Structure 1
Amino acid sequence: MADETGSRRPHILIVTVATPGHFAPIVQLLYHLRHQGNVTVTVVGGGPLLDQLSKLHEKGEFNDLDMHFESIFGPPPPYPDPKFPVRAATASAQWEVEFQGLKKRLIEEKGSPSAPTALIADLFFWWTKEIADELEIPWYPFSTPSTWFTLSALECTTLQRRELHPVHSAQKHEKLDLPGLFGYVYDLCAEVIEWPEFYANVAHHSLRATGILFNSSFELEGAAGSLSAVVQLIEQRKASEPGKPLENTKVIPIGPLLNISGSGESPTEDEKDEALKWLDTQEKGSVLYIAFGSMGNVITDAVVNLALGLEESGVPFLWVVKAPPGQTAEDILPEGFQARIQGRGFIETGWASQSRILFHPATGGFLSHCGWNSTLESLSAGVPMLTWPLSADQMQNARFLADVEKLGLPIGEGPPEEYFTTVKKEDITRAVKRLMISEEGKEIRKNSLRKKEVISETVGEGGSTYVALRELFNELLTV
């Protein structure tokens, strides 16, 4: 479509994954984009998340951004693993089929004033490069997990050739020796090895993108070096296989994209919920916050020992408890637990405003599954973490926190599948006290506060993320 001057208006097509962890950074990107003025955005997705975004738009959350929605994706096919219930390969294959009708329409409308001028898609939607090429527009895959997970996906052929499976490999206890991948072989995501064709496609197409967007920054990653390793992979690809000008792939770190000041926006929350009111009664830095992400009841096997360990630690805590379907928190917590911890502990069984909890002065630690969004929120708040990874990129996220940057402590040692159900209440108590009470914990808290300042400078005016976002928007809006 044309604007008032008769020029073609920029039209950005954004294809999203219908799961919370991947969808949230897209929402924050839209909050930034709303300040750019004369631009049309079409968000492709499905399910409750897209509905919620549409309602935010109706309420005026995105100013005058000309937004449209295409709800075409159904729920992802379930996978029988409560710790990792959605597999990228199977979900992407389903959504590729569901995309075909829109793809046909986009091709038919190619050349019209309202046709897309750029395409941003989740990294797992490698097949959207084909429609971008057909429309002759720039293509930007968006890496919403951590950079090291994306790097392992880009290095999938090497990992598969060397049989570096985190569970079944004879080398699983060895340290990783690939640039930008740290920790041990058992920290890798098994999915990258188990779906070789899918991840080979992700790697092949991503290394030929206009630019790869990362929810990270060089400063945030520090010594990890994963973004630099991706740059090296792209340079190796260019040297061995020179591509079209459109394929002069760039690394574009635009993170952290979060619902915190300077990193996007969030809907206005005028009233405090009961959890926040309870935090108001606690001493500064005294409370341990416990939550395991948006994917549900992932630690019920260990919930009793976690409860008893928290109780024995003597540390105040705020715990978001998600019971399995058909059960309540009372069903899975130890008998009499809630009565015994009344006043010192707060059990939240509904929705919790995680960013507001983490930024509350009373919050002094975060026991987490180490999903990337939760990790970024905690780092941005300067809150050190106790790491209890469960799946996907979480093992390397935890390794980054505990070993690379000294921003947290592990609940257990060794491969997660070996300590996940064997961790004892004594292990919980010991880890909680180390983080919240000991001198070691105080040093980790200082490190976390320093990282908070680094992130604040990165997203602030003149910082690398601030600059990268504006350079990206300049590219997207130039047609």
Structure 2
Amino acid sequence: MAQGNGSRGPHILMVMLGAPGHSSPFIQLIYHLRHHKNVTVTVISGGPSLVHLSKLHERGDFYDVDLRIESVFGPPPLYPQDPKFPARAATASAQWQIEFEGVKKRLIQEKGSARAPTAIISDLFVWWTKDTADELGIPWYTVSTTASWMTLSGFVSPLLRTRDLHPVLSGQKYEKLDMPGLFGYVYDLPAETLEWPEFYANITHHSLRATGLLFNSSLELEGAAGSVQTVIELVEQRKKSDPGKPLENTKVFPIGPMAQIPGYGELVKLGEQEEALKWLDTQEKGSVLYIAFGSLGNVVMEVVPQLALGFEESGVPFLWVLKVPPGKTVEDILPEGFQARVQGRGFIETGWAPQSSVLLHPATGGFLSHAGWNSTLESLCAGVPMLTWPLSADQPMNARFVTDFHKVGLPVGEGPSEDYSTTVTKAGISKAVKRLMVSEEGKEIRKNSLRVKELLHQTVSEGGSTYVALRNFISELLTV
């Protein structure tokens, strides 16, 4: 897979995070680049996503891309203050910046050589890679791998603090938001953007001066929510007040949805858990509720018995990806006799489940999710309605987007999701599941889900906004 004729073709350096939700857009970009000749891609990351990427590369998924993979980043430091979501971008980024120093020195030494990168694409959270791009004199693109409203809330967090709009501490937490590009209630805002001011100030300063800002979203998907549109306006304001350098003539590229759903990205089938899919084959069309809380997050263990009893009481078939804490067994955390009582109607997966394949399966009729952006996009692209139990970061606002904006889902509980662990009961779970899966209201929500799926299909089809933005971005990226 060497570059042809010894010529200097495009060499893209990608700096991605190891969590699946953050790495998925990067992997999909590599799939798009495989249709172009003489392209080199170096991926710097760490963790399970790098292992996954290596396996895809080994089986030849990326064709003629000269793909080079470097494991640089260690696991993120734990954030024990939050057992539901035990990682924070700010602390992880600080550690990875130190680990990247050796790579940075090497890149600067190789500046101008045939080995040097011609552009850098990085996760928004590793904002410090822009300094390397500046020293090399090459374009720097940053990817917002969370929802655009989280990125926007980071950009405007000084204003949020000035107005005392903290989702937990503010006396206005139950008020509706009235800021461009942000929606829902004050308690839906991502607290992290207010609690780590220096980190988000650095993200804002560097991102608004990127060569390009990439969003895993589309203008049509966001509609009147308008977060990407608001970012575009902020970028234009910055360029008027501070034109910056030639490579800081920032463009915004809404290139999403990028998801492991046919039509929106490559459906990666690698080491699939066949037992879960075989069990789905035995269930009626649209009858099964799929339950998963993402790769990093999880509900607190005290809630698991209430969830289990609620699923049992609902009478709805379910496929549950259940994370079992170290030193515990499934029997330790589930109610006594539960598995025997739901045998045949419920399938419990304690390992990994092929989420995209599950969502695309005809038997799947709903998705109880933490509303992470990657999971939300996959559900929207598959036309599967959602029950939302957000845990952290952009998830409360993602859930609001699902339930109130597009009306393609229902919340599991009422009020701030931070209260769900103490307010959601067995009866509440059962009621929410039945509302989504078997009620007339659920039928309307399912119709809305199919409407949004069609809307998204139009954005990625020839002439759609995502189709155009993605091709414009790749054309710019590969121009050396």
| TM-score normalised by L of structure 2 | 0.96
- List 4+ stretches of structure 1 deviating above 6 A: none
Distance 1:270 1:320, change over 3 A: closer
Distance 1:200 1:338 in 2: 49
Contact 1:382 1:449 in 2 (8 A): yes
SS of equivalent to 2:172: coil
User: Map of 1:323-402 to 2, 5 A cutoff?
Assistant: 323-402=324-403
| Aligned position for 1:22 | 22
Equivalent pair of 1:301/1:421 in contact (CA under 8 Å): no
Q: Would you say the 8 A contact 1:222–1:405 is kept in 2?
A: no
SS at match of 1:366: strand
2:204 corresponds to which residue? 203
2:6, 2:97 → 1: CA distance? 35
- Which has the larger displacement, 417-426 or 315-324? 417-426
Quote how far apart the aligned CAs of 1:69 are: 1.6
The 2-side partners of 1:387 and 1:3 are apart by: 47
Deviations 1:242-283 (A, max 9, x none): 222321211101111112212222444597711111111211
Conserved? CA contact 2:407–2:445, under 8 Å: yes
Is 1:264 equivalent to 2:273 in the alignment?
no
Gaps of 5+ in 1: none
Q: Structure 2: which amino acid aligns with 1:33?
A: L
What is the rounded CA distance, in whole Å, between the counterparts of 1:200 and 1:271 in structure 2? 41
Please give the secondary structure, in 1, of the residue aligned with 2:141: strand
1:397-408 alignment runs, 5 A limit: 397-408=398-409
* 1:332–1:4 distance in 2 versus 1, CA, 3 Å: closer
Are 1:144 and 1:214, in contact at CA under 8 Å, matched by a contact in 2? yes
Deviates more, 1:380-389 or 1:217-226: 217-226
C-alpha contact 1:61 1:267 (8 A) present in aligned 2:
no
Q: Shift of residue 197 of structure 1?
A: 0.6
Q: Cα–Cα, structure 1 residues 392 and 82, in superposed 2: closer, same or farther, change >3 Å?
A: same
Contact 1:357 1:363 in 2 (8 A): yes
Which residues of 2 match residues 316-327 of structure 1 at below 5 A?
Answer: 316-327=317-328
Contact 2:40 2:66 in 1 (8 A): yes
| C-alpha deviation, 1:303, in angstroms | 0.9
Query: What is the CA distance between 1:473 and its match in structure 2?
Result: 1.1
Q: Aligned runs of 1:24-423 on 2, under 5 Å? A: 24-80=24-80, 81-268=82-269, 273-295=274-296, 297-423=298-424
Q: Supply the AA of the counterpart residue of 1:424.
A: T
Deviations 1:63-105 (A, max 9, x none): 1110112211111111012212111111111111111111111
2:22 counterpart letter in structure 1: H
Given residue 15 of structure 2, which amino acid in structure 1 is its aligned partner?
Answer: V
Q: What displacement does 1:369 show?
A: 0.6
**1:359-400 Cα shifts (integer Å, max 9, x gaps):** 111111111110111101100110110111011110000000
Amino acid at match of 2:400: R
Contact 2:122 2:129 (8 Å CA) reproduced: yes
Give the secondary structure class of the aligned counterpart of 1:36.
coil
Q: Distance in 1 between matches of 2:284 and 2:223?
A: 32
| Alignment-mate amino acid for residue 239 of structure 1 | K
Contact kept, 8 Å, 1:160 with 1:196, in 2: the verdict is no
Q: Residue by residue, what CA displacement relative to the aligned partner does 1:432-463 show, whole Å, maximum 9, x if unpaired?
A: 11111111111110000011111122223332
State the distance in 1 between where 2:285 and 2:54 align.
Answer: 38
1:21 Cα deviation after fit = 1.6
**Aligned-pair CA distance for 1:55:** 2.8
Change (3 A) 1:271 1:127: closer
Q: Contact 2:73/2:96 (CA < 8 Å) preserved in 1?
A: yes
- Pairing 1:409-448 to 2, within 5 Å after superposition: 409-448=410-449
Q: Which is further off, 25-34 or 268-277?
A: 268-277
Conserved 8 A contact 1:144-1:215: yes
Partner deviation per Cα, 1:101-152 (whole Å, 9 max, x = no partner): 1111111111112211111000011111111111111110100011111111
Could you tell me how far 1:51 is from its partner in structure 2? 2.8
